[in-house]
Amino acid sequence: MVVPLISIILLAPLASFAIFALLGLAKRNFPRQDYLSTFAMLVALGCSLLLIQEVTSEPTPLTVEWLSLGSVNFSMGFYLDSVTVIMLIVVTLVSSLVHIFSIGYMHGDPRYSRFFAFLSLFSFSMLFLVVSDNLLGIYIGWELVGLCSYLLIGFWFEKDTAANACKKAFLTTRVGDVGMFIGMMMLFAEFRTLSLYGDTGIFEAVATLESGQIAWLSIAGILIFCGAVGKSAQVPLHTWLPDAMEGPTPVSALIHAATMVAAGVYLVARMFPILTPTSSLVIAYVGGITALVAATIAIVRFDIKRVLAYSTISQLGYMMLAIGAGSYVAGLFHLTTHAFFKALLFLGSGSVIHAFHAMHAHHDDAEHTEDAAHEHADNSLVHEHGSEIPPDQDMRNMGGLRRKMPLTFITMLIATLSISGVPFVFSGFWSKDKILGGVLGRAMEWNSVHHYILFAMALIAAGITAFYMFRLIFMTFFGEPRNQEMHDMAHESPWVMVVPLIVLAVLSFPVVNTLWFNKDYIEPPPQHHIPAPQHAYVSPDSKIGDANFGFSLFGVSTAQAAEEDAGPDTAQADDAYHIHHRAHNIAMVLSICVAGLGILLSWLFYHRRRFSAEGVATTFRPVYNLFWNKYYFDEFYDGVLVALTVWKSRLFAKFDLSFIDGIVNGVGKITRDIFAAFIGFFDNRVVDGFVNRVAEVTWAAGGRIRKIQTGAIQTYLFVVLGGIVLIILIFRLF
């Protein structure tokens, strides 16, 4: 059943896109591309749910030979384990909901059909990435989602900001992808395969390496991680994601929050067995720094979508940190909970934007003509970074919307409570707590300063997250309307948009999520090059997952549940287990404290107005400027890197034109002159009519060719033909 099901999952969305593309060649449209795409996605969702039953304890890759070169072969295939199935369900579920939401949101867009076709293509690519059993297949899906992201960010390509943003997204992620490709080349050079699983796969080969041989493996791991840095918008390649908000909001929800950007985390999780202590630490630190940097930038944004974008970056950093610190299950758990609540937040913001849209469309006409008047072609690779916020996304125009849009408000509030880590009731709390507990557990177990630092970073980021998320809620839904005109226009969105919000809100409660964290459903793959305790204890990570699950549902204490389930085998494992258990308790208390503090401060600042945000900004001007200017990453890239590249390309082109071609033309001229002199020499010194004759003929022929008319060419052709025949005949006579 597995192969047919996966095939349907992949082919349904692909077929939907193919229909659009083929009809497009004939300049036609399928009448209801929206229903077609949505239907395809629902079919894929159904099949994904059926796959839950099919996961076996010993997953085997299902492969076909894709490329055979004699000595080296590349195979393509599927690998289905519990993580794959969870990812399939997350992707198809969020994608289905986004499809449905878009039926309302994109209504009336001139390229309505195209939008759904692109969503289909994206879903196919993402699903292909998820089920691939080898690095090459993952890379193919990886780049294809990048293409779809490009197409969808630039969906409203008439806007220069959108046209810039899609290019930036593609190029920035490509920088990371090249790193990933180099990592793949390293693995290929060593193991002569890009398959991951099975007896001949990379993971098996890695297991046999001696500990002295893993220095290069660390480098390969970090290089592969570069791909994830690009795709999951980790520092320093994160700058494309906020700009990607130029795409339609459903796209932001699906691609730039829930699925594609999480693919980087998925990749690192997939590559878990090849990680070494060094590469793990690098991953964890990049994740931690990203979580902090993005969170601090989010505090000062006013564009509702940008706040969410930076929040996404920050949360992705969290997941990376988790996996880098060895908390495999926690990282993936957070990936799924985040997918739901962040998609909900984006769709909710879409609902708000939609509410303001009638107003905006009004303004738009006036701007439009103005835009058309000025020079539109952007002639440089460097652009201004629009601090221009569209009025319908500016939180300073919002306020008091909770009465106007009650359903949007309640669902978004649920998501906010979840992401902020409000305890016990919301899924976000559990996944975040698992990460914090996992990192602290490792710190205590190994007595590692690095992991204590990482824990501190994660904890601070958690507090900031609670702060800026509630800032968003307070500014948008509470208080008095700041822009009365726009407020009057606002309205609750139609049902087709609200229903997906409600479904996602339900998914933000742990009841649903824990279904997947069934006992023994997820087992972290072994890491062969990370020191001992990891092996010795019976993966407390997953057990504690179960414990939390039990806790949340039945009110059983963590300790009890854990002890019942775990049954540690050895004394050492027992130790490690207890350390982790204690770590989780400490982490839980701390995380509740920072979340509460964040929410409290936000409430004081933005609801009760006890403190003035402007006042604080003035007091800490340099810090505020740093956050406001996004740590100057964009300025550095555009001003230095892009400018250098363009300068270099112009230099090369100039070199080509003046120097190389100059030499060529020079040689040509000299040759001609020498020949002329040479002929002149003969002319003067050697009284030989023959040479003169030759020269005359040559020059005459030259003149002829220059003036040649098309009529003459036919003659020429006959001459050539005759010549060939003549040559053949002459040679035959020899």
Binding to other proteins by residue 699, rule CB under 8 A? no
One of 717, 722, 725, 726 touching other proteins (CB under 8 A): 717
- Smallest gap from Cβ 69 to other proteins, in A, equals 5
Residue list 178-207, contact with other proteins (CB under 8 A): 178, 181-182, 184-186, 188-189
Binding to other proteins by residue 703, rule CB under 8 A? no
Q: How far apart are CA 244 and CA 112, in angstroms?
A: 19
Q: How far apart are CA 457 and CA 455, in angstroms?
A: 5
Cα 291–Cα 296–Cα 300 angle in degrees, nearest 5: 140
Contact 396, 302 (CB under 8 A): yes
Residues ≥6 apart with Cβ < 8 Å to 216: 186, 190
Structure tokens belonging to residue 653:
């082109």
Contact 155, 110 (CB under 8 A): no
Nearer to other proteins by Cβ, of 191 and 452: the residue is 191
One of 1, 600, 644, 708 touching other proteins (CB under 8 A): 708
Nearer to other proteins by Cβ, of 690 and 734: the residue is 734
Contact 595, 421 (CB under 8 A): yes
Contact 339, 419 (CB under 8 A): no
Residues ≥6 apart with Cβ < 8 Å to 243: 153, 161, 164, 165, 168, 169, 385
Contact 317, 290 (CB under 8 A): yes
Binding to other proteins by residue 650, rule CB under 8 A? yes
- Smallest gap from Cβ 216 to other proteins, in A, equals 11
Pick the stretch among 48-56, 161-169, 517-525, 572-580 that binds other proteins (CB under 8 A): 161-169
Residues ≥6 apart with Cβ < 8 Å to 313: 233, 234, 238, 241, 242, 290, 294
Binding to other proteins by residue 147, rule CB under 8 A? yes
Residues ≥6 apart with Cβ < 8 Å to 330: 322, 431, 434, 435, 437, 438, 541, 545
Pick the stretch among 167-175, 315-323, 419-427, 623-631 that binds other proteins (CB under 8 A): 167-175
Binding to other proteins by residue 456, rule CB under 8 A? no
Q: How far apart are CA 82 and CA 522, in angstroms?
A: 6
- Smallest gap from Cβ 654 to other proteins, in A, equals 8
Binding to other proteins by residue 27, rule CB under 8 A? yes
How many other C-beta atoms are found inside a 10 Å radius of the C-beta of residue 476?
24
- Smallest gap from Cβ 692 to other proteins, in A, equals 24
Give the x/- contact pattern for other proteins in 656-695, rule: CB under 8 A: x---xx--x---x---------------------------
Nearer to other proteins by Cβ, of 600 and 660: the residue is 660
Pick the stretch among 174-182, 303-311, 346-354, 418-426 that binds other proteins (CB under 8 A): 174-182
Residue list 536-555, contact with other proteins (CB under 8 A): none
Binding to other proteins by residue 175, rule CB under 8 A? yes
Nearer to other proteins by Cβ, of 604 and 713: the residue is 713
Cis? peptide before 236, omega within 30° of 0: yes
Pick the stretch among 89-97, 177-185, 530-538, 631-639 that binds other proteins (CB under 8 A): 177-185
Nearer to other proteins by Cβ, of 560 and 665: the residue is 665
Contact 95, 123 (CB under 8 A): yes
One of 511, 713, 725, 726 touching other proteins (CB under 8 A): 713
One of 94, 163, 229, 561 touching other proteins (CB under 8 A): 163
Contact 218, 276 (CB under 8 A): yes
Nearer to other proteins by Cβ, of 64 and 571: the residue is 64
Binding to other proteins by residue 11, rule CB under 8 A? no
Backbone angles phi, psi at 477, to 5 degrees: -105, -20
For other proteins (CB under 8 A), the number of binding residues is 77
Binding to other proteins by residue 24, rule CB under 8 A? yes
Backbone angles phi, psi at 93, to 5 degrees: -70, -55
One of 4, 31, 70, 108 touching other proteins (CB under 8 A): 70
Name the DSSP letter for residue 493.
Answer: P
Nearer to other proteins by Cβ, of 532 and 730: the residue is 730
What residue type is 112 in one-letter code? Y
Nearer to other proteins by Cβ, of 174 and 607: the residue is 174
Binding to other proteins by residue 142, rule CB under 8 A? yes
Pick the stretch among 70-78, 84-92, 96-104, 241-249 that binds other proteins (CB under 8 A): 70-78
Binding to other proteins by residue 25, rule CB under 8 A? yes
* 155 exposure class (CB count in 10 Å sphere: 0-12, 13-18, 19+): buried
Structure tokens belonging to residue 249:
């909001």
Contact 433, 421 (CB under 8 A): yes
Residue list 337-376, contact with other proteins (CB under 8 A): 371-372, 376
Contact 122, 102 (CB under 8 A): no
Q: Which of 462, 494, 721, 720 is nearest to 594 (CA)?
A: 462
Q: CA–CA distance from 474 to each of 244, 412, 467 (Å)?
A: 25, 11, 11
Contact 230, 174 (CB under 8 A): yes
Binding to other proteins by residue 21, rule CB under 8 A? yes
Pick the stretch among 33-41, 139-147, 391-399, 541-549 that binds other proteins (CB under 8 A): 139-147
Strand, helix or coil for residue 381: coil
Pick the stretch among 159-167, 279-287, 296-304, 401-409 that binds other proteins (CB under 8 A): 159-167
Structure tokens belonging to residue 238:
């994160």
Nearer to other proteins by Cβ, of 361 and 705: the residue is 705
One of 673, 718, 722, 726 touching other proteins (CB under 8 A): 718
Binding to other proteins by residue 732, rule CB under 8 A? yes
- Smallest gap from Cβ 644 to other proteins, in A, equals 11
Nearer to other proteins by Cβ, of 240 and 470: the residue is 240
Binding to other proteins by residue 400, rule CB under 8 A? no
Binding to other proteins by residue 728, rule CB under 8 A? yes
One of 53, 71, 208, 387 touching other proteins (CB under 8 A): 71
Residues ≥6 apart with Cβ < 8 Å to 576: 445, 533, 536, 537, 540
One of 526, 645, 677, 697 touching other proteins (CB under 8 A): 645
Nearer to other proteins by Cβ, of 175 and 209: the residue is 175
Nearer to other proteins by Cβ, of 157 and 611: the residue is 157
Residue list 373-392, contact with other proteins (CB under 8 A): 376-379, 381
In the numeric block, the tokens 């993936």 are attached to 332
Cα 142–Cα 146–Cα 150 angle in degrees, nearest 5: 170
Strand, helix or coil for residue 725: helix
Binding to other proteins by residue 714, rule CB under 8 A? yes
